[in-house]
């Protein structure tokens, strides 16, 4: 009787131990599966889309990962220009450094260097931060005025509400006419749209 009881105790202990190993193995499998899924997700969000199409509503869609050769279509041109305007004009005092940096990244290297020197010389960012405001941008009109094989000229009519961060009230409203000249370039990691800004001017209306 004692031997049978001892056998049952040992057998039960082994079954529990075996169950523990199964649970541990299952947990390790889930961890490995999660790590694999996370790795794939990180790859999928960080890989650079080589071909992008944007519809008239401004919605971007990755079509495929091949062919850098297709030139930017009309939807892509408008999407790129609107993004640039929001970064260059529609900033606020808290994010101005990041937004201006993004706008500079959309420019050709030589033009970005020129604009960056101008920004430093005029203390543009320092003054924008000190103003403690946000520029609420509304693009009233954006149109392609001229287009050649290598360049695109766009004109935009903007309304900018200057809002004080402390009160959230509109302090001033201004209207501008902007002109953007884009150059077609080969699509790349840094320029997935195959476009770069080579000139930007703004006139207060």
Does 169 map to a domain?
yes
CATH number for the domain harbouring residue 94: 3.10.450.230
- pLDDT tens-digit map of 52-71: 666 655 555 555 544 456 78
Q: Does residue 155 belong to any structural domain of this protein?
A: yes
Q: Is the pTM of this model over 0.85?
A: no
Confirm whether 41 is domain-assigned: no
Residue 117 forms part of a structural domain: yes
* Residue 57 three-state SS: coil
Cα–Cα distances in Å, from 194 out to 58, 69, 70, 73? 17, 9, 9, 10
Q: Which domain holds residue 159?
A: 71-204
Total tally of structural domains belonging to the chain: 1
Q: What is the pLDDT of residues 148-189, one digit of tens each?
A: 989 999 999 999 888 887 887 888 888 999 999 999 998 887
Rounded to 5, what percent of the chain is helix, strand, coil? 45, 30, 25
Q: Is residue 150 part of a domain?
A: yes
* Residue 20 within any structural domain of the chain: no
Retrieve residue 162's tokens.
């200057």
Summarised one tens digit per residue, pLDDT across range 17-51 is 655 555 655 656 565 565 555 555 544 444 445 45
Highest mean pLDDT among 8-17, 52-61, 138-147: 138-147
């Amino acid at each position: 009787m004692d031997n049978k009881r001892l056998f049952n105790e040992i057998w039960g202990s082994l079954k529990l131990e075996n169950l523990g190993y199964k649970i541990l193995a299952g947990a390790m499998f889930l961890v490995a599966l999660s790590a694999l899924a996370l790795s794939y997700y990180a790859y999928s969000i960080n890989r650079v889309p080589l071909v992008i199409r944007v519809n008239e509503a401004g919605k971007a869609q990755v079509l495929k990962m091949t062919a850098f050769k297709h030139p930017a279509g009309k939807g892509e041109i408008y999407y790129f220009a609107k993004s640039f305007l929001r970064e260059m004009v529609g900033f606020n005092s808290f994010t101005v450094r990041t937004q201006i940096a993004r706008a500079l990244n959309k420019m050709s290297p030589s033009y970005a260097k020129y604009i960056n020197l101008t920004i430093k010389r005029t203390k543009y960012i320092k003054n924008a931060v000190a103003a403690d405001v946000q520029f609420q941008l509304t693009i009233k009109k954006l149109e392609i005025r001229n287009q050649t094989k290598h360049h695109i000229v766009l004109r935009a009519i903007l309304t900018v509400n200057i809002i004080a961060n402390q009160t959230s009230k509109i302090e001033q409203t201004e209207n501008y006419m902007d002109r953007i000249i884009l150059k077609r370039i080969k699509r790349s990691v840094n320029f997935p749209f195959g476009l770069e800004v080579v000139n930007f001017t703004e006139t207060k209306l």
